[in-house]
Structure 1
């Protein structure tokens, strides 16, 4: 009889996105916080080499303040493309930062026409009266092949989002969501246990979900998410500290911390091509 060598199972591949700056922190918080196009492009290259497959972008005005501006987005996106080609999925934020209306947020996204965008449900559809316009906007995104990731801050928001999906207001069969653990405004450090209410037995299930977490337990939180089938977002937007409690020198250090934890549990980081395959196969249907 011919003996067959057992084929080792392929490790689960986890998407690691990097959120390198956010809209609130400045270089006073960390001198390595990237804000300019060149700094963001350099950060993109460093994080790509450490295992990231997506970068989440905030852009700033000349005074360093947060801004939603299509021209600024296109400038940074072009600079990243010059540096890393298409080896990262580039996702822009639509975060209002208390400065923009839902109509302005929607307009900037459509003008920018990015590959991917993050959308906070509480900002773009704060009330039931906003849901219809939100659904029409999402239909435009689908028509333009812009991949949305829906940011959900609480389990109650996850339930509301699932209800909107059931009512036909979300034109994506398997939408991608991001669960946020901890809070910036309250300086509440997240812990892995904070994930449990989002994935409790009575909660809606999402095929493609990720976690970001505030504070030094970021790597532990995203690793816990990966063990339950989720994906990860790390970076200076939410956390400046390594698991050891030391300050990270760069965003790439936080990507390394997450990738190392995943590898130690038999998982691997996904690349941009693999992420795009998942987007086409699931989220954009």
Structure 2
């Protein structure tokens, strides 16, 4: 496998979008599992997992996660990465409960959502929690929304409070409302990412494919999916998540960039054997 091998993560639903926006957004465990299988066949190695409550709203319920994880595991061997996104509904304690209840291979944390309120007591609680997460063998991916977020994460790492020697981060380009992603946006981040950190990109809107391709060419990893984008580069609706995964896989293959399988990801990121 090439040292430039790229992992593709698929984020098939997110916390906000529903069937009214695209009928192929998977919400139920069986739908998520079927989508995960299709996306892995198209080239994805990691599933960024959100679950929903009975009304379709975002949930951090451990039981709902366990049901979805079991469904995905029965369908394929893709790496499962639950989210702990708060979406204005949950608290840091709920984020921590997801990790403690699941102890998954991977997980995502927004450090700023964990450090709330920003007090010394909360700082100490989060430091202990991150050490606990590392001891459990879970590899976190830290979500970065701005250069300020990145700089704060670097400060925590330099202080020894982020325990990973080579942290994994995801840089988010754009937002649900107000800003459009551009492939050159990633260039502002590159000088600020410490050497040996592993990083990837996701992007909102039709430029998604161009943005993640730019990331792959710069040595990063890629995340695509209906959480962030529903259309192709020309604004036409994608058939499903596997449609965009396949497009990205084809671009990487054309460029000669090797793609990681789920087994490659587990080896490269040092993941524990899934339960």
Question: Normalized against structure 1, the TM-score is what?
Answer: 0.90
Separation (CA, whole Å) in 2 of partners of 1:40 and 1:71: 15
Matched, 1:122 2:112: yes
Separation (CA, whole Å) in 1 of partners of 2:97 and 2:4: 37
Q: CA deviation at 1:128?
A: 5.6
Matched, 1:199 2:199: no
**Aligned match of 2:127:** 135
**1:210 alignment partner, SS class:** strand
Contact 2:173 2:185 in 1 (8 A): yes
Separation (CA, whole Å) in 1 of partners of 2:3 and 2:266: 18
Contact 2:200 2:221 in 1 (8 A): yes
Q: CA deviation at 1:268?
A: 2.3
**Aligned match of 2:234:** 244
Separation (CA, whole Å) in 1 of partners of 2:28 and 2:146: 32
Equivalent in 247, 255, 268 of residue 245 of structure 2: 255
**Aligned match of 1:232:** 222
Separation (CA, whole Å) in 2 of partners of 1:10 and 1:146: 25
**Aligned match of 1:162:** 154
**Match runs of 1:1-12 below 5 Å:** 10=2, 12=4
- Aligned-residue Cα RMSD (Å) equals 1.6
Q: CA deviation at 1:226?
A: 0.7
**2:25 alignment partner, SS class:** coil
**Aligned match of 1:83:** 75
Contact 1:131 1:169 in 2 (8 A): no
Equivalent in 164, 189, 208 of residue 172 of structure 1: 164
Contact 1:158 1:204 in 2 (8 A): no
Matched, 1:43 2:40: no
The verdict on how the C-alpha distance between 1:278 and 1:59 changes in structure 2, with shifts beyond 3 A counting, is same
The verdict on how the C-alpha distance between 1:203 and 1:117 changes in structure 2, with shifts beyond 3 A counting, is closer
**Aligned match of 2:88:** 98
**Larger gyration radius, structure 1 or structure 2:** 1
Contact 1:159 1:204 in 2 (8 A): no
Q: Deviation string for 1:238-270 (max 9, x for gaps)?
A: 000112321101000110121111112111221
**2:269 alignment partner, SS class:** helix
Question: Normalized against structure 2, the TM-score is what?
Answer: 0.94
Equivalent in 31, 50, 64 of residue 56 of structure 2: 64
Q: CA deviation at 1:11?
A: 7.6
The verdict on how the C-alpha distance between 1:206 and 1:156 changes in structure 2, with shifts beyond 3 A counting, is farther
Q: CA deviation at 1:10?
A: 4.5
Q: CA deviation at 1:76?
A: 0.3
For structure 2, the 5+ residue unaligned runs are none
Q: CA deviation at 1:57?
A: 0.6
Q: How many residues align?
A: 269
**2:246 alignment partner, SS class:** helix
Separation (CA, whole Å) in 2 of partners of 1:11 and 1:244: 32
